[in-house]
Amino acid sequence: MEAALLQEISEKLQRGKAKDVAALVTQALEQNISPETILNEGLVCGMNVIGDKFRQNEVFVPEVLVAARAMNAGLKILKPALSGAGIEPLGTAVICTVKGDMHDIGKNLVKMMIEGQGIACIDLGVDVDPQVIVDTVRDNDVQLVCLSALLTTTMYGQKEVIDALCTAGLRDKVRVMVGGAPITQEFADEIGADCYTLDAASAAREAKRLIAEMRA
């Protein structure tokens, strides 16, 4: 019974059925299934399937967006119960598009996928000054900084953020992940980033690994 309900949550999430997911999460709570089980075996499980399918070009951006929206609908119901049970997010990531760059679809996609892993995200938006990122890292319990850039003219903004974190003495406090159309592994290495991934699904998987590393 419990397994079937969790499976249904996962499947409805994969199909982007936000209202159904919210109703099923409510039902699962009423049946005294633990919030952590609902999160991991229902919602996160569904997002993992979507992430794998996205990486393999079996689903595309609209499918990921509607699945993430369904995830958020479920999370909204689940959050009070999670807090009540003392269950915290796996960690916290700061995410933004760097200074001079107004593009946010890639950043939003990565954010949704990361949240789908049970990681809290502080979204600073687009065209973000390095100092704002430094201040956010300083003022919050953050383990990961995710930087997006779409343009060859703005990609060096990622280096400016890493340099600013170094100058502020915060570089060791966080891992830095970079991504975006012009970014390559070579470039990530050149600017001293800790991680580069090609797509949002891989970014979410790496985010989980990096946060676990920082918390170890």
Partner 1 sequence: MSMTASERFARYLSGKEIDRMPIIEWAPWWHLTLGRWHAEGLPAECASVDDIQGYFGLDRCLQTGVSYFTPASPTVIPGSGIGCMEDEDDWERIRPTLFPDVRTLIPKEHFDWLRATHERGDTLHFFTVEGFFWYPRVLFGIENHLYSFYDYPELYKEMCEDYSDWLVELFDYVFSQFHFDFMSFAEDMSYNSGPMIGEACFDEFLAPFYRKVIPVIHKHGIPVFIDSDGDITMAVDWYAKVGADGMFPLERQAGVDVSTYLDKQPDMAFLGHFDKMCMKFGEAAMRAEFERILPSLQRGKVIASVDHQTPPDVSIVNYKIYVSLLQEYAARVTHKGGNITPCPVFAEQERSQA
Place of tokens 């890639």: 106
Of 16, 35, 42, 157, the residue at the interface with partner 1 (CB under 8 A) is: 16
Q: Under the criterion CB under 8 A, does residue 190 sit at the interface with partner 1?
A: no
Residue with Cβ nearer partner 1 (140 or 153):
153
Q: What is the distance between the alpha carbons of residues 143 and 139, in angstroms, rounded to a whole number?
A: 12
Q: What residues have CB less than 8 Å from 18, skipping those under 6 apart?
A: 66, 69, 70, 72, 73
Residue with Cβ nearer partner 1 (143 or 154):
154
- Binding string, residues 61-90; x marks residues near partner 1 by CB under 8 A: xxx-xx--x---------------------
Q: Are 124 and 94 in contact (CB under 8 A)?
A: yes
Q: Under the criterion CB under 8 A, does residue 212 sit at the interface with partner 1?
A: no
Residue 2 CA from chain centroid, whole number: 27
Of 153, 166, 190, 213, the residue at the interface with partner 1 (CB under 8 A) is: 153
Q: Per CB under 8 A, which of residues 112..151 are in contact with partner 1?
A: none
Instruction: Show the tokens assigned to 6.
Output: 């969790």
Residue with Cβ nearer partner 1 (131 or 153):
153
Q: Under the criterion CB under 8 A, does residue 169 sit at the interface with partner 1?
A: no
Q: Are 94 and 133 in contact (CB under 8 A)?
A: yes
